[in-house]
Chain A
Amino acid sequence: MEELILELKKEIIKVLNLEDMTPEDIDSQAPLFGAGGLGLDSIDVLELIVLLEKHYGIRLANAAEGKKIFTNMENIARYVSENRKR
């Protein structure tokens, strides 16, 4: 799981253009959206949905579904490991 979390962090930094950040800067349990977290927004939700489809063959039906999964890095990793097609 730790390996998958690291892989996801690297991908997210690249896809969401978080250029000044390193994987160590992202707390695996900290919220990704809203104040007190990473400060991601609704456009990032769409980018993360594309990322899941491209890298893991996971197809989500809508943005609301994505927002439920993308709460923090641990949660994303758990969802990916349970649902990945590739």
Chain B
Amino acid sequence: MTDIAITGSGIICAIGNDKEQVRNSLLSEKTGIEELRYLPSCHRELPVGEVKLSDTELKQALAISPEEEYSRTALLGAYALRQTLADAGLSPESLKGKRVTLISGTTVGGTEASEHYSCGNNTKNIARIVGLDCQMTSISTACSSAMNAIILGARMLLAGETDIVLAGGTEALSVFHLNGFNSLMILDHQVCRPFDATRQGLNLGEGAAYLVLERTDDAQIREAGIQAYITGWGNRCDAYHQTATSENGEGAFLAMAEALNMADLQPGDIDYINAHGTGTIDNDRSESTALNRVFVESLPPVSSTKSLTGHTTSASGSIEAVICLIAMKGHFIPGNYGWKNQTPECISPSPITADTTLHHILCNSFGFGGNDSSLVISDLAPHRKSAVNSQQTIVTCGETVITQEDELKALSTYLSPMESRRMCQLMKAAFLTSLRTLETAGINKPDAVIVATQYGMLGNGKKILDTLNEQGEEGISPTLFMQSTHNTLAGALAIHLGCHGYNITYSQGEDSLLWAVRDAERLIHEGKARTVLVGLHDEMPLYSKSMIIRKI
């Protein structure tokens, strides 16, 4: 048996510092979205979902001296991870000598001050605070990062690569992304109203949440308390726009359909859907279309909990997965707080509903670059056999490397000036090596795109920070912001290639490429891809390498 059991969970967000507090806020529909209190920003007009603890209080709770320098993102992550381990009856000591993997999703934690806090460093810091000594990696696919971390953990367990996975994500509010989202004009000045006719945008939130995952038979041997099972997942790319969503919600549709198919469930089997439901005009319309395409006549109760927590960006996937666990255990459907006005372009969400048995829950998490993921959480194990076949022959071909700026002129063979006008040097390099590699290999469209990057879009991030330092909180370039997330390259490549397949970005220091290559091989062994475009892209100094990993 190779089912994946959830044996621990922990959470901190605007509506509570642990599962019990979050449960109470969900049941009393008490929103955590208020005028900002802790973040040093002038944007009083933008309500946010802050964790109700200062950095000093977080450090106290974690027994860290005030002088030690950690980002708020790392502090929140450590706070939730420590809770998660205790919940599973585990400790750093009890994990010594075991094959443990920590997988954390974050984005701004590695952008805001890139030189100090790369995504990989952020995860290392979390492990250091908690006292964990284990293998680790960081996934950075913007707002779907944490869900993709959970998916990777489940896949690694299925493939037998590790025995205990700690997976989730963390993100603190920052002046960087508050101003960035503001430049995209998608922040509501009131508490957000997902799926409502009058919705004006999202409210940013912050927090962290992690799960402990184990193969079910291992969990049973350990006599661990099994909270639920992960029975299906899907990650697909909308391949439409860097930040907007497609009209027909193709990426979301494909991700949900794949997750249901993997869990061997019919649409009618799902008892509740925790939607991505950010409250933006685009997302809620597009997600509604995708939901109606998947569920047609049998749409179960749907709600977004983001009007309570705010949109916790990179952490939202794990925060909402833990909310689903709380709902399953407490036999209730969380409400879609703030919703009043029906609109034909959106689904009508469910109010809070008590005394409901939830056997199967679908949880959605979507990010910039059209990175769409879905997870099925079930209270019953499906008893399936693993479909991983590690006996296949895999080859690497068509490798291309660029390190010099003057080589980038050749990009005009592939892209028109209008297509390349917004590209920074790094993106030009990534496109040139990718397109040349695909051409050499005779492939028009790979089945999946996997990118490794140590620092991501360092130059664009720095330009935004310079603007904030020099001009204060106004005039952030929306183009720069939407091209500041680590998964910008993988998203842009998928859009150009029309590739709706698996799309992931690793940022774990010098190990990033190793994780990317391993994932490409894992994907092929799972039978989910035959050709994978893999790249390592970094700037300062410029280094861009692309290759095709394929099955023969």
Real binding pair: yes
**Distance to closest chain A CB from B473 (angstroms):** 12
Known: A17-B422, A43-B422. A50 touches B477 (CB 8 A): yes
Known: A43-B242, A63-B185. A50 touches B422 (CB 8 A): no
Pair A50/B476 contact, Cβ less than 8 Å: yes
Residue in contact with A50 in the complex, picked from B417, B475, B482, CB distance below 8 Å: B475
The answer for the CA separation of A19 and B421 in the assembled complex, in Å, is 7
**Distance to closest chain B CB from A26 (angstroms):** 14
Pair A19/B417 contact, Cβ less than 8 Å: yes
The answer for the CA separation of A9 and B184 in the assembled complex, in Å, is 23
**Distance to closest chain A CB from B370 (angstroms):** 14
Query: At the interface, yes or no: A29 with Cβ under 8 Å from chain B?
Result: no
- What is the interface of chain B, defined by CB distance below 8 A to chain A? 183-185, 200, 241-242, 244, 417-418, 421-422, 474-479, 482
Residue in contact with A46 in the complex, picked from B421, B474, B478, CB distance below 8 Å: B478
The answer for the CA separation of A62 and B183 in the assembled complex, in Å, is 10
Q: Which 5 pairs of residues, A with B, have the shortest CB-CB distance? A: A46-B478, A17-B421, A54-B475, A20-B417, A63-B185
16 CB contacts below 8 A, A to B, read: A17-B422, A18-B421, A20-B417, A39-B418, A42-B244, A43-B242, A43-B422, A46-B478, A47-B478, A50-B183, A50-B478, A53-B475, A54-B475, A62-B185, A62-B200, A63-B185
The answer for the CA separation of A39 and B474 in the assembled complex, in Å, is 27
Residue in contact with A43 in the complex, picked from B418, B475, B482, CB distance below 8 Å: B482
Q: A20: which B residues are within 8 A, CB to CB?
A: 417
Residue in contact with B479 in the complex, picked from A18, A43, A63, CB distance below 8 Å: A43
Query: At the interface, yes or no: A49 with Cβ under 8 Å from chain B?
Result: yes
**A17-54 with Cβ < 8 A to chain B:** 17-20, 39, 42-43, 46-47, 49-50, 53-54
Q: A53: which B residues are within 8 A, CB to CB?
A: 474-475
Q: Helix, strand, loop or mixed for chain A's interface?
A: helix
Q: A49: which B residues are within 8 A, CB to CB?
A: 185
Contact pattern, A 48-81, Cβ under 8 Å of B = 1, otherwise 0: 0110011000000011000000000000000000
The answer for the CA separation of A4 and B395 in the assembled complex, in Å, is 59
* Nearest opposing residue in chain A for B420, CB measure: A17
- What is the interface of chain A, defined by CB distance below 8 A to chain B? 16-20, 39, 42-43, 46-47, 49-50, 53-54, 62-63
Q: B184: which A residues are within 8 A, CB to CB?
A: 46
Residue in contact with A47 in the complex, picked from B200, B241, B242, B477, CB distance below 8 Å: B477
Q: B418: which A residues are within 8 A, CB to CB?
A: 39
Q: A42: which B residues are within 8 A, CB to CB?
A: 241, 244
* Nearest opposing residue in chain A for B478, CB measure: A46
* Nearest opposing residue in chain B for A50, CB measure: B475
Pair B474/A54 contact, Cβ less than 8 Å: yes
**Distance to closest chain A CB from B260 (angstroms):** 32
**Distance to closest chain B CB from A34 (angstroms):** 14
**Distance to closest chain B CB from A57 (angstroms):** 11
* Nearest opposing residue in chain A for B242, CB measure: A43
The answer for the CA separation of A74 and B422 in the assembled complex, in Å, is 25
The answer for the CA separation of A39 and B422 in the assembled complex, in Å, is 14
* Nearest opposing residue in chain A for B417, CB measure: A20
Known: A17-B422, A20-B417. A46 touches B185 (CB 8 A): yes
Q: B241: which A residues are within 8 A, CB to CB?
A: 42
**Distance to closest chain A CB from B280 (angstroms):** 11
* Nearest opposing residue in chain B for A49, CB measure: B185
**Distance to closest chain A CB from B355 (angstroms):** 42
Q: B482: which A residues are within 8 A, CB to CB?
A: 43
Pair A43/B417 contact, Cβ less than 8 Å: no
Q: A18: which B residues are within 8 A, CB to CB?
A: 421
Other A-B pairs beyond A43-B242, A46-B479, A62-B200, 11, CB < 8 Å: A17-B421, A19-B417, A20-B417, A43-B422, A43-B479, A46-B183, A46-B478, A49-B185, A50-B476, A50-B478, A53-B475
**Distance to closest chain A CB from B309 (angstroms):** 25
* Nearest opposing residue in chain A for B476, CB measure: A50
The answer for the CA separation of A63 and B182 in the assembled complex, in Å, is 12
Q: B475: which A residues are within 8 A, CB to CB?
A: 50, 53-54
Q: B477: which A residues are within 8 A, CB to CB?
A: 47, 50
Q: A19: which B residues are within 8 A, CB to CB?
A: 417, 421
**Distance to closest chain B CB from A16 (angstroms):** 7
Q: A63: which B residues are within 8 A, CB to CB?
A: 185
The answer for the CA separation of A70 and B7 in the assembled complex, in Å, is 55
The answer for the CA separation of A39 and B416 in the assembled complex, in Å, is 13
**Distance to closest chain A CB from B228 (angstroms):** 40
Most buried by A among B184, B185, B474, B482: B185
